[in-house]
Amino acid sequence: MTSGDEDERAARENGAGRAAAVTGRTHGSGLVVRGVRRSFRGVVAVEEADLEVPAGSVTALVGPNGAGKTTLLLVLAGLLAPDRGTVLLDGVDLAADPVAARARTGWMPDALGSWESLTGRELLRAMADAHGVPRAQARRRVDELLALVHLEDLADARAQVLSRGQKQRLGLARALVHSPAVLLLDEPASGLDPRSRVELRDTLRRLAGEGVAVLVSSHVLSELDELADRAVLVAGGRTVDVVEDVGAGGRGADDGTARPTRPWRLRALDADLLRRALADRGLPVREGPGGLDVVLGGELAAARLLAELVADGVPVVAFAPATGLLEQAYLELDERSRR
């Protein structure tokens, strides 16, 4: 029905290593938003939104409550008509062909509703039907998704017995049922326990790795830090800034490429000794809450510094990334907007 199905079939025929593929999608053209504005009865919720989510990346939509994140995502999901501006979803103009655009888009709302009396399997089958996924594929697809979100054991339990986190995971599976090229997630990690967050992060990374353009909104920065490649900052209904290469868990995290400088927080039993040791190395030190903040070139530099400090007999008890880039940018943004 959609090109997604064809992609999927093509991917299957290609064979090797595709069993684990979540979407089997080849790289598309992602999400492009230009000059989108949306108001409600003259009250502007989104003033001017410009952003891009390249295929194969995870982009965070960051901003304080009321910045217009949810409204923007509703526009992108095809539920709200923008007053002006264009939205291209995997190359399809949302205004020109809303149905084709919806076929390429998966959306997980922040207020996640559920059909309480349906089991997860029934729900996903119904959603596959609603998306016109051929029946023969739907069964396999549903099993895949249940495995992906670790709900196989609960596949035949009614939604009313699922916990909030489990419903949240089912919601993600629901958004993925038609193998979308663009995935829109509104506060997906709220209510998730730490383990589920890690799983969510891994799942989204994997989807991005398969060529899906993922846009995640949140105001919990710590979770985005680990998850996103890039962040688009939103304030007062405008996209104000883009921060590239944000998280420690970003794409470049373990491939040895140069990381951007970021602050690390150190604490030692003897604070003066630590301060002196850092000063000896010519590292500028900032007094942070519960430790000293030092800006380092990357994880490699951090590991080296730690080894040296320990070798020098500095009793280090804490050595960890301090606030992420994202948090820094966000706080700066917040400060600017309050000024």
* Residue selected from 11, 12, 34, 47 as contacting other proteins according to rule CB under 8 A: 47
* The token pair that represents 129 in the structure block: 């039907």
Contact 141, 177 (CB under 8 A): yes
CA distances to 108, 243, 253, 298, 324 from 256, in Å: 33, 20, 7, 9, 19
Sole window of 109-117, 224-232, 260-268, 314-322 interacting with other proteins (rule: CB under 8 A): 109-117
Give yes or no for residue 74 binding other proteins (CB under 8 A): yes
Q: To the nearest whole angstrom, how small is the minimum distance from the Cβ of residue 18 to other proteins?
A: 25
Sole window of 63-71, 249-257, 279-287, 311-319 interacting with other proteins (rule: CB under 8 A): 63-71
* Residue selected from 25, 102, 251, 262 as contacting other proteins according to rule CB under 8 A: 102
User: Following CA atoms 108, 135, 101, 247 in sequence, which dihedral angle do they give, to the nearest 10 degrees?
Assistant: 40
Sole window of 94-102, 221-229, 271-279, 289-297 interacting with other proteins (rule: CB under 8 A): 94-102
Q: 163: phi > 0 → left, psi -120 to 50 → alpha, else beta; which?
A: beta
**Residue type, position 187, single letter:** E
Please list every residue from 170 through 209 that binds other proteins, using CB under 8 A.
174, 178
Closest alpha carbon to 177 in 242, 129, 245, 228: 129
How far apart are alpha carbons 154 and 197 in whole angstroms? Answer: 19
Sole window of 75-83, 149-157, 246-254, 260-268 interacting with other proteins (rule: CB under 8 A): 75-83
**Residue type, position 252, single letter:** G
Give yes or no for residue 232 binding other proteins (CB under 8 A): no
* Residue selected from 11, 26, 29, 44 as contacting other proteins according to rule CB under 8 A: 44
CA distances to 160, 229, 266, 323 from 262, in Å: 44, 15, 13, 8
Contact flags string 239-258 toward other proteins, x per CB under 8 A:
--------------------
Q: To the nearest whole angstrom, how small is the minimum distance from the Cβ of residue 90 to other proteins?
A: 15
**Residue type, position 163, single letter:** S
Give yes or no for residue 109 binding other proteins (CB under 8 A): yes
Site of tokens 């670790």: 150
* Residue selected from 130, 258, 269, 318 as contacting other proteins according to rule CB under 8 A: 130
Q: 82: phi > 0 → left, psi -120 to 50 → alpha, else beta; which?
A: beta
Sole window of 80-88, 136-144, 240-248, 276-284 interacting with other proteins (rule: CB under 8 A): 80-88
Give yes or no for residue 318 binding other proteins (CB under 8 A): no
Binding site for other proteins (CB under 8 A): 1, 39-47, 65-71, 74-75, 77-84, 94-95, 98-99, 102-103, 105, 107, 109, 111-118, 122, 126-127, 129-132, 158, 174, 178, 235-238, 337
